[in-house]
A and B are shown apart, each in its own frame.
Chain A
Amino acid sequence: MSENKIVTLAEDEPLNLDGGGSLSKFKTAYTTYGKLNDKKNNSILVCHALTGDQYVASDHPITKKNGWWSMVVGPDKPIDTNKFFVICPNVIGGCMGSTGPKEINPENGKEFATDFPVITIADMVRAQKLLIDYLGIEKIFCVTGGSMGGMLVLEWLSKFPEMVHSAVPIATATNHSAQNIALNELARQSIMADPNWQSGNYYHSDKKPMKGLSVARMAAHISYLSKEALQSKFGRNLQDKNSLDYSFDADFQIESYLRHQGFTFVDRFDANSYLYITRAMDYFDVSSSNNGSLIEAFKNTQSKILCVSFTSDWLYPTSENKKIVKVFNSLGLNVSFIEIETENGHDSFLLDEPKFFEAIKGFINSTFENL
């Protein structure tokens, strides 16, 4: 169990952002598990995905559910907190305590809302680097994360290669495809089409853009599952009824399931954060500061790397992950790759996938033994 901690970073000089502008004295909320050893060489930085947060292995304060990776991180788990010091920060732009649109802008005492600067994945990583500096760690033993978390891992490998001993990017890509961007745009438009969004200034209003955010989540949730998984879980089963209603109520189980996913999501997530973070993912291209050359982007990387993909993931498919492997191979890096067979789609990295756990555990432990 870890207490949530909040630290103010960039107190002396501001964090300059890719889009121009800067953040100074910004907050980062984070959790840690296990102990940093005397050599300070056992830290693992876990990067969360779009709607994740710092509650990687402790109960979520709002949903009261287990941490999003509690099957992976913990005592005797694949990332063993008896052995490793695990750090999980909420990204900037997030809504669980790190500086983001729903936090107070120190300059005017009001919520940032849409005055919050548009940030990038690289900005998030620069902010995380300040946290790692603050914790007194010069070299992180392993940086890992899935989906957007994997993008953060790639950005770490590119921007701060000397600080990363090993890395496990999972179910991710070097940039967003047109299809990825399209899905995020659908989500953003559904939030902004909700009249309760009020151009982002809903924090003191009784009306919040819950419907828009809920639809955004529903659309995204479909993209996290595979066709096979949806079919085998729900098929055309009806929800608590024996015949069709001939109405627009949730007749099918899948409809009811998606509505539930949408409704429960709005309790724990901020609509403006959803806009900012999806934007950062769309802008992500790890080669962008190197004229589009992935080889240039990783030319100083020396880390040992394991890339993982899942067969039924159509959001960040194996082909995208193999592209990353190819770049690392071209550079002669110590890269491993494994494709886990599952029908659980993109969400697989958050689910009970024993072969995935075995791969992570084998890689991390053997890498630590050879340190």
Chain B
Amino acid sequence: MSLINENKDFGVIAELIPNNASVIDVGCNDGSLLEYLREYKNIDGRGMEIDQKKVQLCLAKGISVIEGDADTDLYDYPDKLFDYSILTYTLQATKSPKTVMQQLVRISKKAIISFPNFGHWKIGASLLLNRKMPVSKKLSYSWHETPNLHFCTINDFIDLCEELEIKIEKKGDLSNKKLSNFSGKNFLDSYFNEVGLFLVSKD
């Protein structure tokens, strides 16, 4: 059974992580990604989650989880404690994406970051045609109730990595379940990937 067929996002992330790695999932939800990685990659996993109901679900699954906030609680970890940190669909909801990214590459050797790409053509078209904030499957909140504070595009993310001297090693294309080496900005990615997924690091 291929990892990728099991769950699209999980499978692509799992491909990036070697067996027995130590991993922290920041914004780990109900712990299902960590559980998946524990099963298929035998990782030593930790979670951080702000929503207590989800913290309870993690505890019941035997996942070590800190009820905490990515904006304030990553400072508690020493440098390069983990092999990998994961931040899926959370960057846009943090108060300071910049410091969160800096913390992620500080506490882990490599970081996997995914976020909704605000540069996707449908979003652009929706804004252009409807003059309304886009609502889609990946961006499912209305503007007045969204927890998302900082939307960015794939190109914005790449620029921020450059500014922070964070190295982008790989990029993922979730709709085609594909990983490839990163070689700079790419027109197709920024228009056609609904989700940006990158493997980054900073020595």
Contact = CB atoms under 8 A, between A and B. Distances in A.
A355 interface: yes
Which of A304, A335, A337 is most buried by chain B, counting CB atoms within 10 A of its CB? Answer: A337
Interface stretch (A7-15, A112-120, A326-334): A326-334
A99 to B, nearest CB: 38
B67 A366 contact: no
B149 interface: no
Interface string B54-97: 01101111111111100000001110010000000000000000
A369 interface: yes
B7 to A, nearest CB: 22
A365 B60 contact: yes
A142 interface: no
Contact of B81 (A332, A339, A355): A332
Given A326-B76, A332-B81, A355 B52 contact: yes
Nearest to B58: A336
A142 to B, nearest CB: 13
B22 interface: yes
A75 B56 CA distance: 22
Contacts of B66: 325, 329, 335-337
A145 to B, nearest CB: 18
B147 to A, nearest CB: 19
Contact of B56 (A337, A359, A367): A359
A228 interface: no
Contacts of A337: 65-68
Contacts of B60: 361-363, 365-366
A133 interface: no
A369 B61 CA distance: 10
A370 B67 contact: no
Given A304-B64, A329-B66, A336 B59 contact: yes
A338 interface: yes
A121 to B, nearest CB: 25
B81 A336 contact: no
Contacts of B56: 338, 355, 358-359, 362
A134 B178 CA distance: 60
Nearest to B60: A362
A332 B67 contact: no
A338 B54 CA distance: 11
B31 to A, nearest CB: 10
A335 B66 CA distance: 7
A335 B73 CA distance: 14
Which of B59, B65, B76, B77 is most buried by chain A, counting CB atoms within 10 A of its CB? Answer: B59
B59 A335 contact: no
A272 B32 CA distance: 53
6 closest cross-chain pairs (CB), A and B: A366-B62, A362-B60, A362-B59, A334-B64, A326-B76, A337-B66
20 contacts: A326-B76, A329-B81, A332-B22, A336-B55, A336-B59, A336-B66, A337-B65, A337-B66, A337-B67, A337-B68, A338-B52, A338-B56, A338-B67, A355-B56, A359-B55, A365-B60, A366-B60, A366-B61, A367-B62, A369-B62
Given A322-B76, A365-B60, 20 more contacts: A306-B59, A329-B66, A330-B77, A330-B78, A334-B64, A336-B55, A336-B58, A336-B59, A336-B65, A337-B68, A338-B56, A338-B59, A339-B67, A358-B56, A359-B55, A361-B60, A362-B59, A363-B59, A363-B60, A367-B62
